[in-house]
Amino acid sequence: QQYVYFFGGGKADGRADMKNLLGGKGANLAEMTSIGLPVPPGFTISTEVCTEFYKNDRTHPASLAAEVSANLRKIEELMGKKFGDSGNPLLLSVRSGARASMPGMMDTVLNLGLNDTTVQGIIAQSGDERFAYDAYRRFVQMYADVVLGMEKDILDHLLDQKKEERGVYLDTDLTAADWKDLVLQYKGAIKAELGIDFPEDPEEQLWGAVNAVFGSWMNQRAITYRKLNNIPAEWGTAVNVQAMVFGNMGQDCATGVAFTRDPSTGENYFYGEFLVNAQGEDVVAGIRTPQPINRAKNKDGELPSMEEVMPECYQQLVRIRETLEKHYRDMQDIEFTIEKGVLYMLQTRNGKRTAPAAIKIAVDMVNEGLIDKKTAVLRVEPSQLDQLLHPTLDPKAERTIIAKGLPASPGAVSGEVVFSADEAEAEAKTGRKVILVRIETSPEDIHGMHAAQGILTARGGMTSHAAVVARGMGKCCVAGCGDIKVDYADESFIAPNGVEVKKGDLITLDGATGEVMLGVVPTVSVQLTGDFATLMGWVDQFRTLKVRANADTPHDARVAREFGAQGIGLCRTEHMFFDAERIAAVREMILSDDLEGRQKALAKILPMQTSDFKGIFREMKGLPVTIRLLDPPLHEFLPQTEKDIDELAATMRVPASTLRHKVEYLHEFNPMLGHRGCRLGITYPEIYDMQVRAIMVAACELIKNNGFSIVPEIMIPLVATVRELALLKRNAVAICEEVIADYGVTMEYLIGTMIELPRAALTADEIASEAEFFSFGTNDLTQTTFGLSRDDAGKFLPFYMDNGIIEQDPFVSLDQTGVGQLVRIASEKGRATRPDIKLGICGEHGGDPASVCFCHTSGLDYVSCSPFRVPIARLAAAHAAL
Ligand code: ADP
Ligand code: MG
Ligand code: MG
């Protein structure tokens, strides 16, 4: 069995499609080598070794050591250097690489192989003592942190002390002697702290680093990241061991990171940053301000671009950019280093991008002939669209700009300022909207970034940790806002104009401009034209599942249609009852003792309901509209305060005490399972009669006077038995026929039911003998299948999820094994009785991509979701079909 895969000298054992075995980084290093790009030679220890490592109590397969040393010899040959040699030593980088990219989660050790002997070889070869000792101290620092688990602050403190002592600010101002001394100090500190000698033996260093990479797969940050991104722990990580190249050997050296297109906007130009005379993570660490790659985009022109500083390497990199895009047919995120004017590629992967960028790049690449429409549709994640459908700042709104940083991830958000990730999480748990403000972020802050509305950092560039992670999460982020002075101890920051912002103060971030504003600035929703419309057009060609919206008002109906809804799957009539002008009449109806009193009150509501439905039918222009008859428990409409009761008693001309008594009488212990849904229609038939009449009158008037064609779908909720439905259908049909006859029109209408109780699902064959359509009310169906109250689940569901008792909140993503089974049973039974029965779902799940996919494979006709999620559902339906 092969455990180690070599790459170098234009040939590689691995390929890009071997990510499962080699991890993303290793597979792409192999691929880049094979297509002739300059990659320092190296080898990848496969993810299988990681699996074995954890299976066998952190030990390795017996044959691994021999394989590693054979491959190490190959690197030595290609480089003409020897690992551990005193004359011309080979130095290595040891890098982790999981299947899915996990930014910043795993640790890298650079310059491995240095010790007091080999450092002399580096000095001899490079003729640069300062460089050699700089590399050495970096190695000791990283190794101590990553492999030995030494507290990072201790060594950082020694460095700061040294700089202070020497009166310098930048690392680059320290001399060879300074670094040499620091190496000694570091080693001393390690001895004092951990009681061990720093390992001098390069072999021991190598295995220590390899094991540390495997070990880091199970560190807390990696576990958190995997949990947030649904990455299974079984996948494991690979280890890449590679010859070092040096970006820190002088002014003709550099290191950088770039994207082949702009990851924020998708614009087709070379986007990136680099630093002269620097190594590794210096670019993203935010200590020195990096320079842009591209001259044209360097508008402020403060720092010269790579195009100007290193024109030859720049041209070579531009050609590599083209090669990579043609080869991978996707936007790439690359890392490179230049050693003495020679360019080396250290990494490539498909770049993370914002939703607008994803759409633009997909559409552009179709136009450029790089990909087909199907691929373009699959390139955009449905959940990503959420970001796009979110508002931006109202251009007309007043704003007090207090600082400006880099526009790292778009969106416009407001919230209370907090200064730590833990606090962000705690505040968000109580329902507050917070903005996390940090000098810079690190992987330890991920949970806080997740909980916050937006992130503001004082340091770091467009490729800093905060920027990359925020874009991945679809969170608004303003990074590198050097204007502000953050004081963690005081929990405040000071803006350049002297404004002090304290913890709890409200600010607004605009991730598209990088502006930071005081207070809450109002937002507006976005225009859905251009590339978005083009892509959604392709989406609609590929999907078969229809998408409707849940909309209760003409305004919602219009938004839904603009977002591409093909009808309304759920129009809830109770919202119309809560309206301030109407509630009095509704209360009067509920609290009347006799039929006559109720009818009198209902007569007041009828014209209002009629005009509601007319407005909705009008907006939907003949598209199907499903209207649900009154559903919630009556007591929700009751007057709550003494004052309300007294006022109502006066209008109704009854004593307040009688009314109070009636309110008490209507109280229910378990209203969700109480007097609601069709049970109301059965005990108070006049309520549903009025609603059916309003629907039919609205439809008939538009048909007769405005030439509309409308097929109203009347939906009866919470049916458990076919007899309930039969009775209510008979009543409804009578009213429908009466209204149709009155208007003298010819029209069709459908009467159907919601399937939201397990008994209804199990007896769907019987129910389908009456119902002309089913709409799965998956909110209540989840509630009744789990026996779980949605309003009370917050007290224990989070615990269930944290402890793996359930994978996901069943109210967010449909429980396919349980609730989904009922949906499947009911669909089959319904179709057995009535082959052309229309099937759809309404409820939160209609806008959840995984649930949409389930509905597609279960053969439903449509999903219905909130208007803002309609594009997400459309895209998810296309993904399910492709
Ligand atoms: P991450 O997954 O965090 O990006 P990497 O393994 O890519 O970690 O390493 C981080 C950085 O270390 C790289 O961006 C690069 O600058 C530097 N690096 C890695 N390998 C080498 C190498 N062989 N020579 C020089 N620098 C390297
Ligand atoms: Mg890193
Ligand atoms: Mg990297």
Shortest-distance Cα residue to atom 16 of ligand 1: 280
pLDDT of residue 285: 66
Q: Is the model's pLDDT at 336 over the cut of 70?
A: yes
pLDDT of residue 372: 97
Q: Edge-to-edge, what's the strand order for the sheet holding 342-350?
A: 291-292, 271-276, 254-259, 332-339, 342-350
pLDDT digits (tens, 9 = 90+) for 604-651: 999 999 999 999 999 999 999 999 999 988 877 888 778 888 888 888
Q: Is the model's pLDDT at 441 over the cut of 80?
A: yes
Q: Is the model's pLDDT at 777 over the cut of 60?
A: yes
Residue 461 Cβ inside 6 Å of ligand 1? The answer reads no
Residues 233 and 289 in one domain: no
Does residue 583 sit within a domain? no
- List phi, psi (to 5°) of 479: -115, 165
Mean pLDDT of the 841-848 span: 88
Residues 216 and 282 in one domain: no
Of 175, 200, 177, 178, the C-alpha closest to 190 is 200
C-alpha of residue 259 to centroid of ligand 2, in Å = 17
Q: Is the model's pLDDT at 106 over the cut of 80?
A: no
Residues 166 and 274 in one domain: no
Of these ranges, 291-305, 352-366, 785-799, the one predicted with the greatest mean pLDDT is 352-366
* Mean pLDDT score across all residues of the chain: 91
pLDDT of residue 623: 96
CA atoms within 13 A on the CB side of 302: 4
The catalytically annotated residue of 571, 736, 842, 853 is 842
Helix (H) or strand (E) holding 95: strand 92-98
Residue 337 Cβ inside 6 Å of ligand 1? The answer reads yes
Residues 234 and 270 in one domain: no
pLDDT of residue 691: 96
pLDDT of residue 849: 95
- CATH number of the domain to which 802 belongs: 3.20.20.60
pLDDT of residue 298: 55
C-alpha of residue 473 to centroid of ligand 1, in Å = 23
Model pTM greater than 0.90? no
Residue 244 Cβ inside 6 Å of ligand 1? The answer reads yes
Residues 226 and 133 in one domain: yes
When mean pLDDT is compared across 282-286, 416-420, 851-855, the lowest value belongs to: 282-286
Three-state SS at 368: coil
Instruction: Count CB neighbours of 731 within 10 A.
Output: 17
Neighbouring residues of the ion ligand 3, judged by CB less than 5 Å = 335, 347
Dihedral sign of CA atoms 108, 113, 114, 116 in order = positive
pLDDT of residue 386: 74
Q: What is the DSSP string of 431-482?
A: T--EEEEESS--GGGHHHHHHSSEEEESS--TTSHHHHHHHHHT-EEEE--T
pLDDT of residue 301: 56
Residues 207 and 88 in one domain: yes
pLDDT of residue 252: 94
Of 15, 211, 236, the C-alpha closest to 94 is 211
Pick from 243, 271, 302: which residue ends a domain? 243
Q: Is the model's pLDDT at 391 over the cut of 90?
A: no
Give the model's confidence band at 589: pLDDT under 50 very low, under 70 low, under 90 confident, else very high. Answer: confident
Shortest-distance Cα residue to atom 13 of ligand 1: 280
Q: What is the atom index within ligand 1 of the atom nearest the CA of 40? A: 23
The residue behind tokens 């039929």 is 595
Tally of domains within the chain: 4
Residues 28 and 71 in one domain: yes
Give the model's confidence band at 585: pLDDT under 50 very low, under 70 low, under 90 confident, else very high. Answer: confident
Residues 26 and 99 in one domain: yes
Residues 104 and 172 in one domain: yes
- CATH number of the domain to which 481 belongs: 3.50.30.10
Does residue 188 sit within a domain? yes
Q: Is the model's pLDDT at 571 over the cut of 90?
A: yes
Q: Is the model's pLDDT at 528 over the cut of 80?
A: no
Q: Is the model's pLDDT at 527 over the cut of 70?
A: no
Of 20, 103, 683, the C-alpha closest to 446 is 103
Q: Provide the β-strand partners of residue 494.
A: 485, 500
Please give the residue that has the higher pLDDT: either 147 or 654: 147
Closest ligand, as measured to the CA of 344: 1
Mean pLDDT of the 132-137 span: 95
Does residue 629 sit within a domain? no
- The tokens describing 319, both together, are 């050609």
Pick from 458, 491, 524: which residue ends a domain? 524
Give the model's confidence band at 815: pLDDT under 50 very low, under 70 low, under 90 confident, else very high. Answer: very high
Give the model's confidence band at 165: pLDDT under 50 very low, under 70 low, under 90 confident, else very high. Answer: very high
Q: Is the model's pLDDT at 473 over the cut of 80?
A: no
Q: Which domain holds residue 163?
A: 4-243
pLDDT of residue 355: 86
Does residue 269 sit within a domain? yes
When mean pLDDT is compared across 99-108, 248-257, 287-296, the lowest value belongs to: 99-108
Alpha-carbon gap, residue 303 to 276, rounded angstroms: 12
Residues 453 and 515 in one domain: yes
Q: Is the model's pLDDT at 224 over the cut of 60?
A: yes
Residues 239 and 268 in one domain: no
Pick from 524, 558, 574: which residue ends a domain? 524
Assess contact for 587 and 638: CB atoms under 8 A.
Answer: yes
Mean pLDDT of the 358-386 span: 94
Does residue 346 sit within a domain? yes
Residue 465 a catalytic site member: yes
Among 7, 93, 217, which is best to mutate for testing ligand 1, by the most ligand atoms less than 8 A from CB?
Answer: 93
Residue 90 Cβ inside 6 Å of ligand 1? The answer reads no
Residue 242 Cβ inside 6 Å of ligand 1? The answer reads yes
Closest ligand, as measured to the CA of 101: 1
505: exposed, middle or buried (Cβ count in 10 Å: 0-12, 13-18, 19+):
middle
Mean pLDDT of the 199-206 span: 97
Q: Edge-to-edge, what's the strand order for the sheet holding 492-494?
A: 485-487, 492-494, 500-502
227: exposed, middle or buried (Cβ count in 10 Å: 0-12, 13-18, 19+):
middle
- CATH number of the domain to which 279 belongs: 3.30.470.20
Residues 166 and 277 in one domain: no
- CATH number of the domain to which 235 belongs: 3.30.1490.20
pLDDT of residue 446: 82
Interface ipTM: 0.95
Q: Calculate what percentage of the chain has a pLDDT beyond 90.
A: 69
Assess contact for 108 and 95: CB atoms under 8 A.
Answer: yes
Q: What length does the chain have?
A: 882
pLDDT of residue 843: 78
Among 81, 146, 274, 347, which is best to mutate for testing ligand 1, by the most ligand atoms less than 8 A from CB?
Answer: 347
Residue 40 Cβ inside 6 Å of ligand 1? The answer reads yes
Assess contact for 182 and 158: CB atoms under 8 A.
Answer: yes
Alpha-carbon gap, residue 470 to 451, rounded angstroms: 12
Residue 855 a catalytic site member: no
230 Ramachandran zone, left/alpha/beta (phi>0; psi -120 to 50): left
Does residue 496 sit within a domain? yes
Residue 778 annotated as binding?
Answer: yes
pLDDT digits (tens, 9 = 90+) for 55-76: 999 999 999 999 999 999 999 9
pLDDT of residue 281: 74
Q: What is the atom index within ligand 1 of the atom nearest the CA of 282? A: 16
Does residue 457 sit within a domain? yes
Q: Is the model's pLDDT at 21 over the cut of 80?
A: yes
Q: Is the model's pLDDT at 286 over the cut of 70?
A: no
Does residue 745 sit within a domain? no
